[in-house]
Chains A and B, each alone.
Chain A
Amino acid sequence: MRRIPWTLVVFAALLVVPFIGSRFYTFVATDIVIVSLFAMSLNLLLGYTGLVSFGHAAYFGIGAYTCALLMKSANVPFLPSLLAAGLMAGSFALLFGFFCVRLTRIYFAMLTLAFAQIVWAICFKWNDVTGGEQGLPNVPYPGMEWMGSAPVLGNFRVGDHFYLTALVIVALCFAGLRRIVDSPFGRVLTVLRDNPERAQFIGVNVRAYQLAAFVVAGFFAGISGGLFGIFNRGVFPDFAFWTKSAEPLIMTILGGMGSFWGPAVGAAAFIVLNQQITSYTEYWPLTMGTVLIVLLFVFPGGIAGTLTGIVARMRARPSPGATTVPVSERGMVKPNA
């Protein structure tokens, strides 16, 4: 059976969204695309390297403020601003990560949280630059005039243009992430997750690799934050608050951290659920908390993990006596499975 290139199919389907012509669908799709990059960047740490960061919002926030400040206050064009957002977030990830990777487990999580609170406090209180509690409203859309005069795209609204821009950028980032996790470097990261001691025995510099993963994750979180600030038409200190760090964790658990696309699936499910539930009731956190508890107890592999399990079981059926696919406790598919 020929393998269907699912990645391209999904990308093509997403390109079609503006043709539906609904402002609402484009809005939701933009949200999903941007936020899934945030969740995917976290999963490089969580699912691949085995590091539980509770302060990933710091890099999202740094990216958002960098991009917004450059575009709004310094009139820098969009692409350089966005790149700067990623680089700035990556640099802070290098600085903070240098200290974080020296700690293990719960202390690592606490230090990432502490650094995120520092970033939040700066955003919240440095009124002259960050606008303090009020944030920075009215971040401009990037100049996308060429799209307005292009043949098919000319009929679309500016929101659609931004959606397509964000989609292409995020797709490029995903391609980059895919290359990274499939590279020898990415393989070493999974070794660090499964057995850091053994990695050390065979001469891997554990901290250097963890730090590299931390920086890459910070860079992509920064890109995601930069895009989100524009999409949201403003950046606010809440972008770096600790509760924001919990969101990509929830999305990753929801989608399944054992597979590459899990966090993106989780982000889509999270945002669609949010849209659906908030149209019935204002008590979205209550629903999300309940969903999260069910996931933790009943489907620890998330959506992707559960589906992979079902598919694997169906494939295994023809040969009676075949054992189940080896899946580790976190619902993580083992590398050679």
Chain B
Amino acid sequence: MFEFSFLFGQFLGGLTAAMFLFLIASGLSLIFGVLRVLNFAHGSFYMIGAYLAWQFVHAIAPAPEGFWLAALAAALSIALLGGILERALLRHLYSREELYQLLFTYALVLILGDLAKIVWGTQQLSVSRPPSLAGSSEVFGVTIPHYNLFVMVLGPSIAIGFWYILQRTALGRIVRAAALDRETLGALGANVGWVYTGMFMMGSFLAGLGGALVTPIKSIVPGMDVEIIVEAFIVVVIGGLGSFWGTFLGALIYGQVLSFGILIFPRFSIFAVSVLMAAILIIRPWGLLGRPLK
């Protein structure tokens, strides 16, 4: 059979992929949880975030740790973009049927994908790792780049941070109330419109951050938007649409199924995750940790 260090390496690979997916999928789940909108453009935000990070790194190339600033700037720009789109357009579709919301976000996929091609062309772009994390360590005979370790720590930190905000602060109470009953919250004097905008911006920020942070590991290519969105859908469906810890669990499961699926059925690991998604929807449509919708 396989050696331990090899299996451990597969496990770590799956874990890194899972933490990236968690960053992106948690934004998707957050938006769905409060706004009840399934945002196809989330993958496009991720892609544009990656391109912007590349752009900013090149704009501030001389600074040795410029990458961090570039990543933050890219994520904030995407949050701003999301906020503008929500305020100007999406807001007017909340009272309409899901189909209109889905098609609106799909229209954004088409538009943003093409805009990215116009601005950045179609060739692969890549960003080098920030110098402070350029090294690597050996754990149980597996070489792990420090950057990957950083991402593995960052994922859970963000999860705990969000959990804290949502469950333990006044702001979190308003957000949870908005998810449960929009009208009552409005009657109590909260500005629900801006709560929605804020949530959409926060979700978009996470997509942009995921895109920016993935650049040192994966090269930026057109088409990464429509690929990642399906993966993010699978993750949120496994965990439960709108459930925060569910998304975390979903990402962990997805990463490991993909990583070990390749060992068992080399060709069918993408098949396995789609089957997993369908099986969850059939048996528990609200996901492993989600709650049934009314």
Query: Using a CB–CB distance below 8 Å, which chain B residues touch chain A?
Result: 36, 38, 89, 92-93, 96-100, 102-104, 106-111, 113-115, 117-118, 226, 230, 233-234, 237, 241, 267-268, 270-271, 274-275, 277-278, 281-282, 285
Would you call A289 and B278 a contact (CB within 8 A)? no
Given known contacts A103-B281, A242-B230, is B104 in contact with A285 (CB within 8 Å)? no
Would you call B98 and A121 a contact (CB within 8 A)? no
Cβ-neighbour of A289 out of B111, B117, B282 (below 8 A): B111
In the complex, chain B residues whose CB is within 8 Å of the CB of A329? 96-97
Q: In the complex, what residue of chain B is closest to A285 when comparing beta carbons?
A: B110
Would you call A289 and B107 a contact (CB within 8 A)? yes
A311 at the interface (CB under 8 A from B): no
In the complex, chain A residues whose CB is within 8 Å of the CB of B226? 241-243
In the complex, chain A residues whose CB is within 8 Å of the CB of B104? 292-293, 296
Would you call B89 and A125 a contact (CB within 8 A)? no
Q: Quick one: CB contact mask for A94-131 with B, threshold 8 Å, 1 for yes?
A: 00000100110111011101110110011011110000
Given known contacts A46-B99, A105-B98, A242-B230, is B110 in contact with A114 (CB within 8 Å)? no
Cα-based distance from A239 to B214 in the complex (angstroms): 29
Shortest beta-carbon distance from A96 to chain B in Å? 8
Binds B, one of A73-81, A163-171, A246-254: A246-254
For the A-B complex with A125-B270, A292-B104, A300-B100 known, give 13 more contacts whose Cβ atoms are closer than 8 Å: A52-B102, A99-B278, A110-B237, A118-B278, A121-B268, A125-B268, A126-B267, A243-B226, A285-B113, A286-B115, A286-B118, A290-B111, A297-B89
In the complex, chain B residues whose CB is within 8 Å of the CB of A59? none
Interface size of A as a range:
35 or more
Would you call B271 and A118 a contact (CB within 8 A)? yes
A283 at the interface (CB under 8 A from B): yes
Would you call A118 and B275 a contact (CB within 8 A)? yes
Would you call B102 and A111 a contact (CB within 8 A)? no
Main secondary structure of the interface of A (DSSP, over half): helix
Would you call A122 and B111 a contact (CB within 8 A)? no
In the complex, chain A residues whose CB is within 8 Å of the CB of B278? 99, 111, 114-115, 118
Would you call A125 and B103 a contact (CB within 8 A)? no
Cα-based distance from A114 to B100 in the complex (angstroms): 20
In the complex, chain A residues whose CB is within 8 Å of the CB of B96? 300, 329
Cα-based distance from A241 to B227 in the complex (angstroms): 10
- Between A and B, 26 residue pairs with Cβ closer than 8 Å are A46-B99, A52-B99, A52-B102, A105-B98, A106-B38, A107-B281, A109-B38, A110-B38, A111-B281, A111-B282, A114-B234, A117-B277, A118-B278, A121-B270, A122-B271, A125-B267, A241-B226, A243-B226, A283-B117, A285-B110, A285-B111, A290-B107, A293-B104, A296-B104, A329-B96, A329-B97
Cβ-neighbour of A293 out of B98, B107, B241, B268 (below 8 A): B107
Q: Quick one: CB contact mask for A283-307 with B, threshold 8 Å, 1 for yes?
A: 1111011101100110010000000
A330 at the interface (CB under 8 A from B): yes
Cα-based distance from A118 to B277 in the complex (angstroms): 10
Would you call A121 and B271 a contact (CB within 8 A)? yes
A231 at the interface (CB under 8 A from B): no
